[in-house]
Amino acid sequence: MGSLRRLKIAYSFYNFFHRKQLAHNLPLFKKYGLKKTYFSPLSSKDFVQLTAPATEEDRPDIKASTLYKSVDGESKKSILAFEENGFCVLRNYLSSQEVRVINNEVDKLLADKKVGFNSSNKLMFTILHSSLIRSLGEEPKLKDFLRRLINGKPVLFQSINFLMGSEQRTHSDSIHMTTFPLGGLLGVWIALDDITEDNGPLHYYPGSHKLPYYLNADYNNEGSSLFTGEQSYAAYEDMIAGKIKELGLKKQVFTAKKGDMLIWHANLFHGGEPHKDKKLTRRSMVLHYFKKGVICYHEITQRPALIRSPF
């Protein structure tokens, strides 16, 4: 990252003009005694001296959710193992017809140039351009289910659509979308194609969510009062690869049928396998949800998270 791109004041200047999307953090800064403005830089270093509030004891019963009651036995077993494994799989969450409608909507957004690929071949924030896709993320049965998993109200924050496999190296979402208290995030991934070992399936490391949250300080990327850290993102990925080897973690590859859904914990190690057959697409969609009441920020760039309004 070049020196100019690392200047914290540049991010603060940008944030200054986005008070509406950043004001959600202001009452939380006051609650935790942080002397921050809505446009101030944020990183894990700011929270070192803070004590996270005690976890509530009355976690809602996941078995009482409508979604849990509607899925098959294999999915129920996976859901009940979420705390142990850090993920759960719900088979056939969407029908083939629902998947077809979503894929057609994404194609239309591309054709109309309402969305485009970023440098990583991702389509970001289709939820801001399509009421149909946003309704998928705001579906009441799904949000009630997520509320029980995260023990709080889930707030839809981001969507990412893929046409091909990400081939992303193993990481934890908490380095990108970080919260205080830690762990206030869920990832929801939906297969929009049949996904085999040939078209870039996901992989993950069961139980890795129980490990420490590896953040800027863990790979010498804290930076200074003026600059964000100078380490490359590859340095973070190398650190995670080293932890996996050191701890002897076992990888699992997730193949799926279109309509299957995977939900993972904020700190689960996961990534994308090689997309071997480029003639095949690997359509999929990721939705990220914050838990209402947590402070949201991006650890690497030390930016508070913008909560964008649709349309």
Task: Report if residue 236 sits inside a domain.
Answer: yes
Centre a 10 Å sphere on the Cβ of residue 196 and count the other Cβ atoms it contains. Answer: 16
Task: Report if residue 161 sits inside a domain.
Answer: yes
Position 56 pLDDT exceeds 90:
no
Residue 58: pLDDT band (50, 70, 90) is: confident
Least confident residue range of 56-60, 190-194, 197-201 = 56-60
Task: Report if residue 27 sits inside a domain.
Answer: no
Query: Coil, strand, or helix at residue 277?
Result: coil
Task: Report if residue 56 sits inside a domain.
Answer: no
Could you give the CA distance from residue 15 to residue 17 in angstroms, rounded to a whole number? 5
Could you give the CA distance from residue 98 to residue 139 in angstroms, rounded to a whole number? 13
Residue 51: pLDDT band (50, 70, 90) is: confident
CB 188 within 8 A of CB 146: yes
pTM attached to this predicted model: 0.95
Could you give the CA distance from residue 22 to residue 17 in angstroms, rounded to a whole number? 10
pLDDT tens profile 237-251: 999 999 999 999 999
User: Position 306: which residue type?
Assistant: L
Position 55 pLDDT exceeds 80:
no
For residue 248, the domain's CATH number is: 2.60.120.620
Domains of the chain: total: 1
CB 196 within 8 A of CB 275: no
The reported pLDDT for the residue numbered 192 is 98
Q: Residue 7: name the closest of 229, 175, 219, 233 by CA.
A: 229
Task: Report if residue 57 sits inside a domain.
Answer: no
Q: Give CA separation, 158 vs 26, 110, 188, 305, in Å.
A: 20, 18, 10, 10
- Verify cis geometry, omega within 30 degrees of 0, for the bond prior to 181: yes
| Mean confidence (pLDDT) of the chain | 95
Residue with tokens 């809505």: 38
- Per the structure, the complete domain to which residue 208 belongs is given by 41-46+62-304
- When pLDDT is averaged across residues 298-305 and rounded to a whole number, the result is 95
Please state whether beta strands 154-162 and 123-124 pair in parallel, antiparallel, or not at all (unpaired): antiparallel
Task: Report if residue 175 sits inside a domain.
Answer: yes
The reported pLDDT for the residue numbered 310 is 74
Task: Report if residue 69 sits inside a domain.
Answer: yes
Structure tokens at 205: 């490391």
Could you give the CA distance from residue 23 to residue 122 in angstroms, rounded to a whole number? 27
Structure tokens at 67: 């979604």
Please state whether beta strands 284-291 and 185-191 pair in parallel, antiparallel, or not at all (unpaired): antiparallel
The reported pLDDT for the residue numbered 5 is 80
Question: 59-78 burial, b if ≥16 CB within 10 A, otherwise e?
Answer: ebebeebebbeebeeebbeb
| Cα distance from N-terminal residue to C-terminal residue, the chain | 32
pLDDT tens profile 253-285: 999 999 999 999 999 999 999 999 999 999 999
The reported pLDDT for the residue numbered 2 is 60
According to DSSP H, which parts of 17-121 are helical? 19-22, 26-32, 66-70, 73-80, 82-85, 96-111
pLDDT tens profile 97-145: 999 999 999 999 999 999 999 878 899 999 999 999 999 999 999 999 9
**DSSP label at 173?**
G
Task: Report if residue 258 sits inside a domain.
Answer: yes
